[in-house]
Structure 1
Amino acid sequence: MDVRLSEILAALSHALDITEGQPRGHSERTCLIAMRIAEHLELDDATTSSLFHAALLKDAGCSSNAAKVAALYGADDAAVKRDRKVTDHLSPAASVRHLVRATAPGRSPMAKARHLRLLVAHGAGGSRDLTELRCERGASVARFIGLDEVAATAIRHLDEHWDGRGYPDGLEGDAISLCGRILCLAQTAEVYWQDGGAGEACDVALRRCGSWFDPAVVDALVATREDAVFWASLQTPLVSALEPPDRAQYADDDRLDRIAEAFATIVDAKSPYTGRHSLGVAEIAVALAARLGDDAVGQRAIRRAALLHDIGKLGVSNRILDKPGRLDAAEWRAMRRHPEWTLEILQRIPAFAALAQVAAAHHERLDGTGYHRGLGAAQLDRPSRVLAVADVAEALSAERPYRGPLAPGEVLAIMRRDAGTALDAGVFAALEAALPAWSAAPARRDDERVAA
């Protein structure tokens, strides 16, 4: 049965929110603000629909620069992005304060100085490149899941400013798409609303009117200042009611597959060591399911679960994901939360509810030694067991910050020690037959799925 695209994107937007260092619901609230501006500007239904979906997917490229941000600042990428969201980076004084706050927090003066030098050397050109990577990746995801070019362009133009001093292309005035201008203001207003309510959201719009923001769009936002009912609605955002009814989009099975694959690329783009992890796990899981006799429906279900199993990792700092040494206790606690976040996000989507439990169980083990819930054999169905084996096999086959990739024989030798105790023996037997062929197959490049 087809499901509304807005329900899926609204739920998955929570994963994008945590990647950007924002509280869950940020994108949905941005969508509500954008829709209110669109109403004031009397946009037609087609443009409003494009804006609606673009608002929910605006941060689809956010993971692509996370590793670079963490490395440059020597800090949690989400924390840096959160601080940058409330910084007028075109103000030299504000930029300096941001750098002092966000660079290598809690570390030695020498470490802070080293990262500040890196940031200075990176310069405005480097910042522009990071923004271009983020915005173009987001636009590519929008196109991949079937959104129109108006929506994709709005995402591309998200960080352009009215005065031409924004990124990535330095577009000015009406050269920026109208939906892009609305999104730029709507997302900024939402961030300032979090701490200062409607007054601060409107005040920041007025302070940056004519520089960051289109004056006509600012006027549309400021007209809502005294509408207490509207601003109260942001507390529990319900975006589906604002989708233009005659323009509602739906997702059939093929589109659901594309959405799962698109979000897998978002997850994998977060770390240079997971560039193909989710797709690889999906390929192995499908091969195992086929060998174990699953029909096409079962294979499709396990593929979706595999593609989305690590969506919770979008909330894990790259300082942890890319750390070359052993994780300390606090870092390990943070890492172990990602299956929990996967479950929370996927459970919000009726179309993915059945696979949410499977996806979130990829670190569970038959003997109860796994995480995040410590489930045992009696609680783990076969799809969960298949996904657990596929995840381990792909992870061992791939490069990691602390070691190189392992050959199929080494992978199987390591996993054989856990077969029948932590990992399902029958699924492992299927892996022994499937892994050599999978390892020998040429990997599909990312740009064959979602162009970088």
Structure 2
Amino acid sequence: MSLRIDLRSAILALSDALDLVGVNDFQHGKRVAMIARETAINMGLPERRLDRLVCGCLLHDLGVSSTAVQRRLLRQADWEDRHIHCETGYRLLQPFSHLSLVSRAVRYHHTPWVDLPADLGETDALDSNLILLGDRVDGMLLQRGLDNPLFNRPGIVEAIVGLAGRELLPEAVDAFIAVASREAFWIALAPRHVQSYLNDLPLSEWRMTIDFPMFGHVARLVSTIVDAKSHFTAAHSLGVAQLARHLGQRSGLTADSLAKVEVAGLMHDVGKLCVPDEIIDKRARLTPLEFSVMERHSFETYQILRHVPGLEQVAEWAAFHHEALNGQGYPFRRSAARLSTEARIVAVADVFQALAQERPYRGPQPVDVIGGILGEFVKRGVLDGDLVALACEDLDGSWRAATLPWSGDGGGG
């Protein structure tokens, strides 16, 4: 496949996805990157090291998909279960040749300086502690409010000074104090300035291209984070991806389109990271307010993916999975004339897999019942009748694709 993806863009998109988990505590990873990077500059770290540190900061909470866990991490620095997400992030990053470079710093970013393993290595030890410093500073900022970070400077600096020597490397604290003396440092942490700071970073060490099959592995990583949000959605994205490829093959899609539609299936629910756990796991019918929150997720998926050069088509196929041929879907109200075959495939795969899986309000549906429900969606003008017919002609094969463990056979994953 000729399509290639810029790794820097992919990392920034992944950072955007992780931002969603905070819901209201937005841009946490990005502010941690700003705080740690400015401190590291004062310590004299070279540009190459700064790039690696920024990447580690942006991805440090990779192991968090639960909004409840995120809230506790940002408000309880001594939470006894805080290391669980560190281990999860480490495990998720390990299989990737370049991303694995930051995996050990991510693993130990909640470990006090004096408790770091002796064999960690100087680079990983410093990076993990700078991430911890940034994390603690931003946690205090979030508790005090981001409307005017500069106003909160004295109390935060005093608290960080108190952590020197045990939790934080004294030299890192000294560098932070020097950086914190600048008003501009605090003003730049206001939400409207954060994205500009990140956009201006060249991140030259991460500005490399990866081929599309390799990006499929990154998409697999994203799907793991999303599906871990609730045990009700465990492996949902994987099932949608496998069924989308299965239906695509039966529809005669080209090999390139099959690879891309599989990635669209893997990433179609990335925007769901912004939906609070209590809505995802609610056993009763959602209220109008709660459903309006749920409706955001496919729009957020689109916003994250469309900014990655080369993923423009994938962004649409993934984000349109709740659109309907009759124009009554959401969030864009696209009608049949503006829904590609690939987008329709992802929509059918999403409904099929969801029906085959347990939800808070019902159990998994038998395979023969699924066929009947899909037929009702066709009658209502929601799903494509030809694609539903393809799925129903091979119900057992479709069910296996939607529910069996990840095969990893496709070019995208």
Task: Determine if the TM-score, normalized by the shorter chain, exceeds 0.5.
Answer: yes
**Gaps in structure 2 of 5+ consecutive residues:** none
Q: 1:230 offset after TM fit, Å?
A: 4.4
Distance in 1, matches of 2:24 and 2:125, equals 25
Structure 1 runs (4+) greater than 6 angstroms displaced = 171-176, 445-448
Q: Which residue of the partner structure matches residue 352 of structure 1?
A: 311
Distance in 2, matches of 1:228 and 1:447, equals 51
Q: Which residue of the partner structure matches residue 96 of structure 1?
A: none
Q: Would you say 1:428 and 2:388 are equivalent positions?
A: yes
**Gaps in structure 1 of 5+ consecutive residues:** 67-76, 90-123
What is the correspondence of 1:332-343 to structure 2 with a 5 Å cutoff? 332-343=291-302
Instruction: Decide whether the 8 Å contact of 2:229 with 2:273 is kept in 1.
Output: yes
Distance in 1, matches of 2:203 and 2:373, equals 54
For residue 57 of structure 2, the aligned residue among 55, 58, 74 is 55
Distance in 1, matches of 2:302 and 2:169, equals 40
Q: 1:425 offset after TM fit, Å?
A: 0.8
Q: Which residue of the partner structure matches residue 160 of structure 2?
A: 205
Q: Which residue of the partner structure matches residue 169 of structure 2?
A: 214
Q: Secondary structure at the match of 1:144?
A: coil
Instruction: Decide whether the 8 Å contact of 2:6 with 2:309 is kept in 1.
Output: no
Q: Which residue of the partner structure matches residue 271 of structure 2?
A: 312
Q: What TM-score comes out, normalization by structure 2 length?
A: 0.85
Q: 1:446 offset after TM fit, Å?
A: 10
Q: Partner letter of residue 43 of structure 1?
A: L
Instruction: Decide whether the 8 Å contact of 1:14 with 1:24 is kept in 2.
Output: no
Q: 1:55 offset after TM fit, Å?
A: 1.2
What is the correspondence of 1:242-321 to structure 2 with a 5 Å cutoff? 242-243=201-202, 245=204, 248-321=207-280
Q: 1:87 offset after TM fit, Å?
A: 4.1
Distance in 2, matches of 1:379 and 1:203, equals 57
Q: 1:439 offset after TM fit, Å?
A: 2.6
Q: Which residue of the partner structure matches residue 404 of structure 2?
A: 443
CA shift digits 1:117-159 (9 cap, x unpaired): xxxxxxx7xx33xx33311111122223333554101111121
CA shift digits 1:185-204 (9 cap, x unpaired): 11222344435525255343
CA shift digits 1:232-252 (9 cap, x unpaired): 444143336545535644322
Q: Which residue of the partner structure matches residue 140 of structure 1?
A: 91
For residue 27 of structure 1, the aligned residue among 1, 26, 29 is 29
Q: What TM-score comes out, normalization by structure 1 length?
A: 0.78
Q: Which residue of the partner structure matches residue 113 of structure 1?
A: none
Q: Secondary structure at the match of 1:444?
A: coil
Q: Partner letter of residue 130 of structure 2?
A: I
Q: Percent identity?
A: 30
CA shift digits 1:362-391 (9 cap, x unpaired): 011112232223222122121111111000
Q: 1:404 offset after TM fit, Å?
A: 1.7
CA shift digits 1:307-339 (9 cap, x unpaired): 111011101111111112222222112111111
Q: Partner letter of residue 74 of structure 2?
A: K
CA RMSD between the two structures: 3.1
Q: Would you say 1:369 and 2:321 are equivalent positions?
A: no
Instruction: Decide whether the 8 Å contact of 1:145 with 1:262 is kept in 2.
Output: no
Q: Which residue of the partner structure matches residue 129 of structure 2?
A: 181
Q: 1:178 offset after TM fit, Å?
A: 1.6
Q: How many residues align?
A: 395
Q: 1:214 offset after TM fit, Å?
A: 2.0
Could you say if the C-alpha distance between residues 29 and 250 of structure 1 is closer, same or farther in structure 2, counting changes exceeding 3 Å?
A: farther
Deviates more, 1:218-227 or 1:269-278: 218-227
Q: Which residue of the partner structure matches residue 38 of structure 2?
A: 36
CA shift digits 1:232-279 (9 cap, x unpaired): 444143336545535644322122111111001100000001111001
CA shift digits 1:154-173 (9 cap, x unpaired): 11112112355x9xx9x999
